[in-house]
Amino acid sequence: MDVKTQVKLLVQQVVEAYLKEKMDPTKNAPIAILLGYHSSNPKTILEAVTPLVYTYNVTWLITKEWLPFQGEMKGLSYKLIEDLSQQEMTVLIDQSSVLVIPQASYGLLSKLALTLDDEAAVWVAIQCQLLGKPIVIANNGVEPNVYQQIHAPHTVQERIQTYIRKIQKDQVKWVPLSKLVKTVDEQYAAYQDKQSLILAKHIERAFQDGLNEIEIPEKSRVTPSAKDLARELKIQIKTINSSKGGTL
């Protein structure tokens, strides 16, 4: 292959890569995939989330139990939850648009429903909720199967369903693993379209917290009274691009 042909092919590859990025606005969209719970079939879990790796800018948050499977993470870097401080996890949460939990547990379900943050993985999920970030959880292994529905005491089944209804009411998406990717796409799109309403009480709280600026998504609406109070208290309202993460 002569030099002219090589240059032509190189230019073509660069142009194709540029056009692909322009046509796929989610390519650089940051999301977090949390692997914090035991799975009897971890490779199935990782295969199910692989499409997300090719679509989004993924940050893996994992426990040491998942370290043997890092080769299945498509060469992407990971963060060990056990080694992260709350401040470091807060930064990762703030940078992510969606939290994906492809393997859950009864502990996660109950603690999330009751807002109990006594373990790192639940703390991450609750912080995402407080920041208005979408959470998508695969229910495989936790949603009672047909035999459990037949044999388990009614009180146990009702308690589980009560927790499920509670987190769904809190806008957590609780779906089968087979629908995880589609639901993440839907939640990411909804997150971009979400319009936060900034009220005077929010400006007042920012002032009480000692802030001189607050960051809000581009599509947010600020009430006139909030604008007036912000000017009075000298608090700058700064818009950010939520497609790059950030706080809603």
Taking the mean position of all CA atoms in its chain, how far away is CA 213? Answer: 25
At 130, list the tokens: 């407080």
Do 128 and 189 reside in the same domain of the chain? yes
Decide if 7 is inside a domain: no
**What pLDDT was estimated at residue 25?**
45
Do 171 and 91 reside in the same domain of the chain? yes
Decide if 220 is inside a domain: yes
Do 64 and 149 reside in the same domain of the chain? yes
Residue ranges, the chain, pLDDT below 50: 7, 11, 14-25, 248
Decide if 172 is inside a domain: yes
Q: Domain range for residue 230?
A: 197-242
Do 218 and 161 reside in the same domain of the chain? no
At 2, list the tokens: 């002569």
Decide if 49 is inside a domain: yes
217 in Cβ contact with 196 (< 8 Å)? yes
Structural domain total, the chain: 2
Decide if 40 is inside a domain: yes
pTM for the full model? Answer: 0.78
CB burial class (10 A; 0-12, 13-18, 19+) of residue 131?
Answer: middle
4-25 tens-digit pLDDT: 565 455 545 544 444 444 444 4
Do 224 and 171 reside in the same domain of the chain? no
- Distances from the Cα of 83 to the Cαs of 16, 54, 62, 163, 164, in angstroms? 39, 27, 10, 30, 30
> Which of 218, 210, 208 is closest to 238 using CA atoms?
218
Let me know the angle formed at the C-alpha of 91 by 90 and 92, rounded to the nearest 5 degrees.
90
> Which of 138, 119, 125 is closest to 170 using CA atoms?
125
141-163 tens-digit pLDDT: 899 889 999 999 999 999 999 99
Do 134 and 209 reside in the same domain of the chain? no
CA 111 – CA 37 distance, rounded (Å)? 14
Do 66 and 54 reside in the same domain of the chain? yes
Query: Which CATH number do you get for residue 187?
Result: 3.40.50.1950
126 half-sphere exposure, CB direction, 13 A CA radius: 17
Do 202 and 186 reside in the same domain of the chain? no
Do 36 and 125 reside in the same domain of the chain? yes
> Which of 71, 63, 62, 81 is closest to 43 using CA atoms?
71
Decide if 248 is inside a domain: no
Do 189 and 201 reside in the same domain of the chain? no
